[in-house]
Structure 1
Amino acid sequence: MAQPNVEPEEDYDYESLPPNFSLLQNMTAGAFAGIAEHCAMYPIDAIKTRAQLVGATASPVSGGVIRATYRMASTEGILSLWRGMSSVIVGAGPAHAVYFATYEAVKHVMGGNRAGVHHPLAAATSGACATIASDALMNPFDVIKQRMQIQNSAKMYRSMFDCAKYVYRKEGLSAFYVSYPTTLSMTVPFTALQFLAYESISTHLNPVKQYDPMTHCLAGAVAGGFAAALTTPMDVIKTMLQTRGSAADAELRTVNGFVSGCRLLYQREGARGFFKGVRPRVLTTMPSTAICWSAYEASKAYFIHQNNSSSAG
């Protein structure tokens, strides 16, 4: 007997924002993804920050990331690997909520949610707009995080609030945003590259655009690692600007922007200095973006399922 034609429950592409998927739900999914992403690989991020500091007598990763992690834990205590993570938790939730809300809104306006068609320009533009909005909120928290990741920071700051007060008192409000233009010079191309790669890979692996955890995880990891490697030079300068107030080097403390940071770094360490910490950066970013996209897509799928169940009831 011929089977009757059954209309699908949804008439929208999974990757689009369905009519019953609210902005609050999208922001909640984004916040969950952001916190999961940053917390999972935080210890390696701490090693990356140490590796990028200018003027260090020896690279913390000279013997490998695993050995550097063990050395930091054994000499400063296991909890030192997570020092400053409270700042990430407080900032990453709201910042990623704004990030994914902006991404979905711009992607929708540019027609990137139409089913059956790949929209690389919409994906890249959406990613760039998303990071401009989220970094404005996250930048101060990132400054606090990196200050607390520096060796012996426990002697200077008892908590993230103590660190924030210290930085504000000694360097003023501008210290929280001196790295913002440099941050954008890194995160805008990083996010555009990541979103472009993610959308391209996921569309190739999952052309029907249904919820597929394996595809989201793999596409997120490859896209994140690719973008992280290419934008490492800007990340090194960002770290320099965000940690300059804790430096003993007088010349380093006077660096006030991307150009002066590049000039000093090249004078001190040559072209190789611009890729300091690239290994831990890629090792951090690949699983982090895999977790981020997996968590976001899982939350998105959960809310869509719940909303459909409520509508059916």
Structure 2
Amino acid sequence: MDTDEYDYESLGSNTTMTQNAFAGALAGIAEHCAMYPVDSIKTRMQVITSVTEKAVKQPPVTLRNLWKGVNSVVLGAGPAHALHFATYEYCKDYFGANGNGHHPLASAAAGACATLVHDGLMNPFDVVKQRMQLRDSAYKTIRECARSVYAKEGFTAFYISLPTTLVMSVPFQSIQFATYEFFRKVLNPDGPHYDPKSHVIAGALAGAIASSVTTPLDVIKTLLQTRGSNQDSRIRNARGFREAASIIMERHGIKGFFRGFRPRVLTHMPSAAISWSVYEYIKWIINTRNNTQQQKEKENFISL
């Protein structure tokens, strides 16, 4: 059997949890870093500002300050995505999504489970990242930002947005994983063959669809994660999902829930394509190596 031709549909079961985690960590770092400046623009567009803040002259936007906070993403994305993809592969196999045909509910359920472990670990890093992405942020390092947030707002500041994040991320990831698996199988019906083009297209479509549907929840999450840096006392004291949603509705109406829609979609389309492509590529390399090793062991055994 040619080592380049293997059952690609059962890839998750042919690689170990550690190998899936390693592939996921690399995919997560590549995904977040590649589109980070666009994500910074999205965050700034979503932030609700008061009349007083609008009157104050803001510092100019430069490419350099659009990268502020990227270290927080690198530190968090690696381990968070390692858990994310390892959990996804395990749950996908457990729920039966690796079988022939389409299994959108099983894939969505696996994606939801993976999201719970990912967001629990990633949320504090995301809070620091968004505080540093603000246009008027004076923080120079992620340590300085984290210490300041903790000193002024306490430990709860790192997790106050977690319920909203989960309300957004669970449907986002469920939709993304289900649509990715669907488009991957449609674009690559000859499942056993590795096809990078199908991963790029399926990932981009999945990212676009999932980000479009969940943008309103992302706007609410951004308000809660950046509230401590806001000059508006009502925003600064917002305590949860309902209050944040009320503020957005009162200030900007329905349109307020779609602030940053375009950069969010423009971020998630290529980032999802990059993430899935890197993830599948690393797994393909690992699985090919595993199959080669197994073939050599088999040949050695036969020769004995």
The answer for the alignment partner of 1:310 in structure 2 is 293
The answer to whether the aligner puts 1:140 opposite 2:134 as a matched pair is: no
The answer for the alignment partner of 2:152 in structure 1 is 170
Q: Distance in 2 between the 1:19 and 1:49 partners?
A: 38
Q: Distance in 2 between the 1:122 and 1:20 partners?
A: 19
Residue among 75, 92, 99 paired with 2:77 = 92
What are the equivalent positions in structure 2 for 1:125-136 lying under 5 Å apart? 125-136=109-120
- What's the Cα RMSD here? 1.9
**For 1:254-313, what per-residue CA distance to the aligned partner results, in whole angstroms no more than 9, with x for missing partners?**
111111111111011111100000000000000000000000000010100111122222
**For 1:243-262, what per-residue CA distance to the aligned partner results, in whole angstroms no more than 9, with x for missing partners?**
00000000111111111111
Residue among 151, 165, 169 paired with 1:187 = 169
Residue among 259, 262, 270 paired with 1:279 = 262
- Rate the CA distance shift 1:178–1:19 in 2: closer, same or farther, 3 A: closer
Q: Distance in 1 between the 2:132 and 2:73 partners?
A: 11
8 Å CA contact 1:12–1:18 kept in 2: the answer is no
Q: Distance in 2 between the 1:119 and 1:10 partners?
A: 26
Q: Distance in 1 between the 2:21 and 2:167 partners?
A: 25
8 Å CA contact 1:194–1:227 kept in 2: the answer is yes
Residue among 126, 143, 146 paired with 1:161 = 143
> Offset at 1:20?
4.7
The answer for the alignment partner of 1:37 in structure 2 is 31
Residue among 108, 115, 123 paired with 2:93 = 108
The answer for the alignment partner of 1:14 in structure 2 is 8
8 Å CA contact 1:13–1:113 kept in 2: the answer is no
TM-score by length of structure 1 reads 0.89
SS in 2 for 1:231: helix
The answer for the alignment partner of 1:216 in structure 2 is 199
Q: Distance in 1 between the 2:21 and 2:12 partners?
A: 14
Q: Distance in 2 between the 1:18 and 1:227 partners?
A: 23
Question: Where in structure 1 are there 5+ consecutive unaligned residues?
Answer: 1-6, 61-71
> Offset at 1:111?
1.1
Residue among 260, 268, 272 paired with 2:243 = 260
After TM superposition, the structure 1 stretch with the greater mean CA deviation from structure 2, 122-131 or 15-24, is 15-24
> Offset at 1:129?
0.7
Q: Distance in 2 between the 1:78 and 1:281 partners?
A: 18
Residue among 175, 184, 199 paired with 1:202 = 184
8 Å CA contact 1:225–1:286 kept in 2: the answer is yes
SS in 1 for 2:281: helix
Residue among 230, 240, 260 paired with 2:223 = 240
Q: Distance in 2 between the 1:152 and 1:52 partners?
A: 14
**For 1:158-215, what per-residue CA distance to the aligned partner results, in whole angstroms no more than 9, with x for missing partners?**
2001101110111011000000000011111111111111111111111122211000
The answer for the alignment partner of 1:67 in structure 2 is none
8 Å CA contact 2:50–2:231 kept in 1: the answer is no
Question: Where in structure 2 are there 5+ consecutive unaligned residues?
Answer: 297-304
Q: Distance in 2 between the 1:194 and 1:151 partners?
A: 30
> Offset at 1:11?
9.8
- Rate the CA distance shift 1:106–1:251 in 2: closer, same or farther, 3 A: same
Query: Structure 1 stretches (4+) deviating beyond 3 angstroms?
Result: 7-13, 17-20
TM-score by length of structure 2 reads 0.91
The answer for the alignment partner of 2:17 in structure 1 is 23
SS in 1 for 2:135: coil
Residue among 62, 69, 78 paired with 2:63 = 78
Q: How many residues align?
A: 290
Taking every aligned residue pair, what percent have the same amino acid on both sides? Answer: 53
Q: Distance in 2 between the 1:152 and 1:272 partners?
A: 24
Q: Distance in 2 between the 1:296 and 1:239 partners?
A: 28
8 Å CA contact 2:11–2:287 kept in 1: the answer is no
The answer for the alignment partner of 1:66 in structure 2 is none
Q: Distance in 2 between the 1:174 and 1:278 partners?
A: 28
The answer to whether the aligner puts 1:53 opposite 2:36 as a matched pair is: no
The answer to whether the aligner puts 1:120 opposite 2:104 as a matched pair is: yes
Q: Distance in 2 between the 1:10 and 1:264 partners?
A: 55
**For 1:26-54, what per-residue CA distance to the aligned partner results, in whole angstroms no more than 9, with x for missing partners?**
10000000000000000000000000011
> Offset at 1:12?
6.6
